[in-house]
Amino acid sequence: MVTIETDVLVIGTGGAGCRAAIEAKKHVDNVVIVSKGPISKSELTIMTMPGFDATLPGDEEGNVRRFFEDTMAGGSFLNDEDLVDVLTKQSSEAVMFLEGLGVRFDRTPDGKIYRAQGESEKYTSDIKLRLDDNMGRTFYNALIGELARRQIFLKEDVFIMDLLVIDGGVVGAFGIDIRKGEPITFLSKATILATGGAGGLYSIRTGSPRDTGDGFAMAYRAGAEIIDMEFLQSNPAALVYPESVRGVVTPGWYLFMGKGIKYTNKNGEAFLERYDSRKEMSTRDVKARAMHTEIVHGRASEHGGIYLDFKGIRLEGTTLETYLKKNSPHMLNYVKLCGLPPEKILNEVIEIGPAAHFTCGGIKINTRCETGVKGLFAAGEVTGGIHGANRLAGNAMTDIFVFGGVVGNQAGTYAKSIGKVKLSKVLKEFIKAEEKRVVSILDRKEKNGVKAAGVRKKIEESMFTYAGFGRDESGLKKELSILEEIKGDELPRVYPVDRSRIYNYDWIQILEFDNMMEVGEMIARGALYRKETRGCQNRTDFPEKDDKNWQKHTLLRKEGDRMTVTTSPRRAIS
Ligand SMILES: Cc1cc2nc3c(=O)[nH]c(=O)nc-3n(C[C@H](O)[C@H](O)[C@H](O)COP(=O)(O)OP(=O)(O)OC[C@H]3O[C@@H](n4cnc5c(N)ncnc54)[C@H](O)[C@@H]3O)c2cc1C
């Protein structure tokens, strides 16, 4: 079996992983970065729209403080204040890092970086940076070049199955090289999880089906604590119709917020004002709850969503084509590609609905991105605590490029301080047994078996129905029993239709199921435990926010074979 030795292993080539690898390489010679697909095709970072929240060098202190306060308010005051402090104070440095690689954020006519006010009109910080509508692509053009320039070893198409743990510390990871279908082991002094979120557990999602939450599950199995997994964010502009584009975020929708665009129900009522005086400018958690309530109370659109009505848009005396050319050329191209004359959009009403978008909870970290497990660090969407109960639009970019920097420096420094790591006899045996188990899946019989696609559908649809955007005790208990049933009855019988080893995604999908089971359980257990509605958690049987009892984190741990849930106090600034 192939074994690769390295100082720092970075799992994930999203913004968090790339920045981490670049920073780590400043401290040590040998940095390896892996992803389970090709770089710039297997991350959410590539799908990013143009929102990036940041202050800029030379900003008055008040703007940084307001950014902090806005992030806390957006997160329903459940954010870890120490992490938000790092996020907001280091955001300008993250922008400079990207500009240093050649990224050019949009400029004002006098050459300054352009920015607008944050997500909601109640929020006051000037933080919203813009790039052309293809922000993710622009980032990768710069990041891929920098990884190569620094001679960071990039290994694509490697599915990491698990971390290697000796005496409670992580010494690397074990996985499958998807191109060859062969097992592969990494031995590393420091390991960084930057594996993104878990939106792929849901049948309607804005991101990728490969977002199966592997990092949460691996960290949990290695002994890390996981916080606030119930806060799964819905995007309030995901299309529900036509069926073929279900989950896709309406391109450019954010350009029209506050410009007369309306969320309406089947009666034509602009309903958001019944839920929040900020109406269309309210945060995403508020919109998601309002949309869900309209849908379940019989006021849904024709295909089960609600309407996004463009008819009231005011464009300050210009045509839509000119407006889009200036603000969103990407959207203009998209509209033209669909064969629509741009102005026609202003007569349109489209159907949108809830879709899994961002995992606010995750691995518990401190301000050095340490996980509490020796040798294991984490950054990006796989971590929890930064965004509290709801992430502000544009703050994921800040998160990944700020904490990507922190984690790279920290892991690099740590790796430099310790000696060579070795595989113990027990670990060698574990790897051998895993290899045998994994390869034997290819020989599973069709008779009495179940196909992977069917299992996947069951997980996704039940998660959306029972652990989605309107939850209650009976539904969450049902979801836990469905997961238990899949684990006990179907997973031992699931077989791949394709029996070859090379690029066999049916096989890899089966290997992902173990992680999906664990992460599904985390979300459902967290949601069941938290008996209130707050941020992205919409408990229809506990519809009010309950600060007295619940301004604290849920905390998941592995104890033996059991997943336990407790709470931990919210960390105020230290
Ligand atoms: C449609 C859409 C639009 C968005 N727009 C914005 C926006 O405008 N502004 C904003 O702030 N945020 C936005 N977001 C959110 C943001 O894109 C993500 O939160 C962020 O990119 C996550 O970055 P990351 O580095 O943590 O993970 P990702 O970019 O998702 O990367 C995860 C990496 O981990 C790898 N990986 C995962 N599991 C394994 C495994 N088992 N083995 C090996 N590799 C593995 C993957 O292959 C990938 O390389 C958007 C999200 C979506 C879906």
Task: Give, for ligand 1, the residue of 195, 202, 235, 407 to mutate: max count of ligand atoms closer than 8 Å to Cβ.
Answer: 195
Q: Is the beta carbon of 162 within 6 A of some atom in ligand 1?
A: no
Does 210 share its domain with 254? no
Kindly state whether residues 162 and 209 are assigned to the same domain.
Answer: yes
For residues 248-270, give the mean pLDDT: 86
Retrieve residue 412's tokens: 């690099």
- Which pLDDT band holds residue 121 (cuts at 50, 70, 90)? very low
Task: Verify whether ligand 1 is closer than 6 Å to residue 468 (CB atom).
Answer: no
From 18, 32, 44, mutation site for ligand 1 pocket: most ligand atoms within 8 A of C-beta: 44
Residue 247 DSSP symbol: T
Q: Residue 410 domain-assigned? A: yes
Query: For residue 268, what is the domain's CATH number?
Result: 3.90.700.10
Strand-pair category, 349-353 with 356-359: unpaired
Looking at residues 540-555, what average pLDDT do you find? Answer: 97
Mark whether 196 and 226 lie in a shared domain: yes
Q: What is the pLDDT of residues 425-444, one digit of tens each?
A: 999 999 999 999 999 999 99
Does 375 share its domain with 293?
no
Burial class (CB in 10 A: 0-12, 13-18, 19+), 367: middle
Higher pLDDT, 23 or 310: 23
In a domain, 97, yes or no: yes
Q: Is there a single domain that holds both residue 301 and residue 377?
A: no
Both 74 and 163 in a single domain? yes
Same-domain status, 128 and 248: no
* 48 and 397 Cβ atoms separated by less than 8 Å: yes
How far, in Å, is the centroid of ligand 1 from the Cα of 394?
13
- 539 within 8 A of 531, measured Cβ to Cβ: yes
What is the ipTM for the molecules in this complex? 0.99
Residues 78-86 have a mean pLDDT of 97
The mean pLDDT value for 412-426 works out to: 94
Co-location of 102 and 151 in the same domain = yes
* Domain-located, residue 437: no
In a domain, 430, yes or no: no
* pLDDT reported for residue 36: 97
Q: Which of 9, 19, 43, 232 to mutate to test the pocket of ligand 1 (most atoms within 8 A of CB)?
A: 43
Which is higher by pLDDT, 461 or 349?
Answer: 461
- 278 and 381 within one domain: no
User: What's the pLDDT band for 86 if we cut at 50, 70, 90?
Assistant: very high
Which of the four pLDDT bands, split at 50, 70 and 90, describes residue 119?
low
pLDDT over 80 (residue 545): yes
212 pLDDT band (50/70/90 cuts)? very high
Does residue 196's CB lie within 6 angstroms of at least one atom of ligand 1? yes
Domain assignment present for 473: no
Q: Which of 223, 229, 185, 211 is nearest to 536 (CA)?
A: 229
- Residue 88's closest CA among 395, 439, 424, 299? 395
pLDDT for position 267: 96
Domain end point (choices 371, 386, 417): 417
pLDDT at 122 over 60: no
Using the 3D structure, point to which of 311, 335, 353 is the last residue of a domain.
Answer: 353
Compute, in angstroms, the gap from residue 419 CA to the centroid of ligand 1: 32
209 CB within 6 A, ligand 1 = no
Same domain, 61 and 175: yes
Q: Ligand 1 centre from 432 Cα, in Å? A: 32
Residues 6+ apart with CB under 8 A from 549: 531, 532
Percent of the chain with pLDDT over 90: 77
Q: What is the mean pLDDT of the chain?
A: 92
**Which CATH number characterizes residue 392's domain?**
3.50.50.60
Q: Is the CB–ligand 1 distance for residue 44 below 6 Å?
A: yes
Residues 274 and 399 in one domain: no
Q: Domain end: 315, 338, 353, which one?
A: 353
568 in a structural domain: no
CA of 21 to the centre of ligand 1 (A): 16
**Mean pLDDT of the region 31-47:** 95
Does residue 434 contact residue 176 with C-beta atoms inside 8 Å?
Answer: no
Q: Is the residue at 85 inside a domain?
A: yes
The number of distinct structural domains making up the chain is 2
213 lies in some domain: yes
Q: Look at the block and give the residue holding tokens 């000119």.
A: 322
Which one, of 531, 453, 545, 442, lies nearest residue 78 by Cα? 545
For residues 81 and 55, membership in a common domain is answered with yes
DSSP 58-103: T--HHHHHHHHHHHHHHTTT-S-HHHHHHHHHTHHHHHHHHHHTT-
d(CA 214, CA 212): 6
- Say which residue the tokens 């990507």 belong to: 404
Is the pLDDT score of 123 beyond 60?
Answer: no
Q: Which two tokens stand for residue 561?
A: 């074979």
Domain that holds residue 36: 2-231+357-417
Ligand 1 pocket residue status of 362, Cβ below 6 Å: no
> 400 CA distance to ligand 1 centroid (A)?
9
pLDDT band with cut points at 50, 70 and 90 for residue 125: low
